[in-house]
A and B are shown apart, each in its own frame.
Chain A
């Protein structure tokens, strides 16, 4: 089983619908991230959380919200999806505690299409 699991892996929805992407991890890491990938643009940070009570905006947070329900769970919501939110979304984790270096580990991605 993957250490960082994203659901759903693929989703097609319509403009205006509310969508939630979920991420869970078994690595025991404190830090969790949501990234968005568009062709030719690399990955851009949407939101990140350094612990359960901490939420921070990234480069492109408009139109998105997040919830850190537990150390192991971090969900991304699109309250009213629009077509330019069509993209590949990645969840990631890292940690600086103990022997951890802050190295980032990614889930397998969630491909979202908004029609």
Chain B
């Protein structure tokens, strides 16, 4: 399979601060997604980003596929950003095709 490592494992911020979450992966990928799991357990799609850069409001993501990493930027954090952020990838060969491998997540806590 593909190894996915996320850092940091935990992050505590004051409201208004900016942050960067990192995802490293061990093989070439054809799919990379970022998810936010809210305190109620729901998994919310943030970005589908196998390469390049995307922005959605205060969130943006960049994937450098050739160097096997992706970054999620959160600007002007709000308490509603709290939760766990997951990175997941799928490969483009053999048994890694079509199945997403997840990192262990970054637990973000934003306090007022």
Contact = CB atoms under 8 A, between A and B. Distances in A.
Number of chain B interface residues as a range: 20 to 34
A105 B31 CA distance: 13
Contacts, number: 54
Chain B interface main SS type: strand
Contacts of B111: none
Contacts of B33: 103-104
A44 interface: yes
Given A104-B33, A109-B42, A45 B48 contact: no
A58 B68 CA distance: 23
A1 B92 CA distance: 33
Interface string B45-85: 10010000000000000000000000000000000000000
A101 B45 CA distance: 14
Interface string B91-112: 0000000111111110000000
Contacts of A104: 31, 33, 45, 88, 100
A105 B104 contact: no
A74 interface: no
Contacts of A20: none
Given A104-B33, A108-B42, A58 B99 contact: yes
A104 B31 CA distance: 10
A40 B104 contact: yes
Contacts of B103: 42
Interface of B: 1, 4, 30-31, 33, 35, 41-43, 45, 48, 86, 88, 90, 98-105
Given A102-B98, A103-B31, 16 more contacts: A33-B100, A35-B102, A42-B86, A43-B86, A48-B99, A50-B98, A101-B31, A101-B48, A102-B90, A103-B48, A104-B31, A104-B45, A104-B88, A106-B35, A106-B43, A108-B41
Interface of A: 31, 33, 35, 40-45, 48, 50, 58-59, 88, 90, 92, 94, 96, 101-106, 108-109, 111
